Amino acid sequence: MYVLMVRLLAISIRSFVAERRMYNTVGRLPYLAAGIFSCAAGMLDPLGIKLLLVSTIPAAFGGSSGLLWADALMPRAGPEKGLAVNREPGWWIAAVVVGGCYIFYLGRGIKFGT
C-alpha cells in the first residue's frame, strides 16, 4: 500500500519536475525539512532523549522515506505543460511562525486535566 501511495504521489508531482534533477527541490528538500522540524520538536519532549532516539527520529525519517525514492517511480515521459510555484517570502515567514509554534508548543507535549 505504501509503494502504491508513493507511486500516486510521483505521478501527481511529475508536472512540477521538468528535469529529473529538479526532484531534489520538490521531494527531498521537504523530506529533510519535515524530519528536522519533527526532531527539533522531539528534543523538547519531557520523556527525554531516549524517546527521541527510538521513536521520533525513526518515525520522522522512516515514515516519509518514500519522498527519497519517489523519483524512481515517476513516469519517464516529461510533463506536457510544466508547472512552477513562485517563491513568496510571505509563505516562508508563515512557515517559520507555524513551525516555531509546532516546535515550542507541541514539542513539550500537551497536558490534559490538572
Local confidence band at 114 (pLDDT 50, 70, 90 cut-offs)? low
- Mind listing the pLDDT tens digit for each residue in 1-20? 999 999 999 998 888 888 87
Compute the distance between CA of residue 84 and CA of residue 34 in angstroms, rounded to an integer: 21
Tell me what the mean pLDDT of segment 90-113 comes to: 88
Tell me what the mean pLDDT of segment 22-46 comes to: 89
C-alpha cell at 107: 514539542
Tell me what the mean pLDDT of segment 8-34 comes to: 88
- Whether 34 and 64 have beta carbons less than 8 Å apart is answered as yes
Give the predicted TM-score (pTM) of the model: 0.76
Residue 69: in which H helix or E strand, if any? helix 66-69
User: In the prediction, which pLDDT does 39 show?
Assistant: 92
Compute the distance between CA of residue 66 and CA of residue 19 in angstroms, rounded to an integer: 19
- Whether 70 and 10 have beta carbons less than 8 Å apart is answered as yes
- Whether 34 and 60 have beta carbons less than 8 Å apart is answered as yes
- Mind listing the pLDDT tens digit for each residue in 44-92? 888 889 989 999 999 999 999 999 999 999 888 877 777 777 889 999 9
User: In the prediction, which pLDDT does 47 show?
Assistant: 84
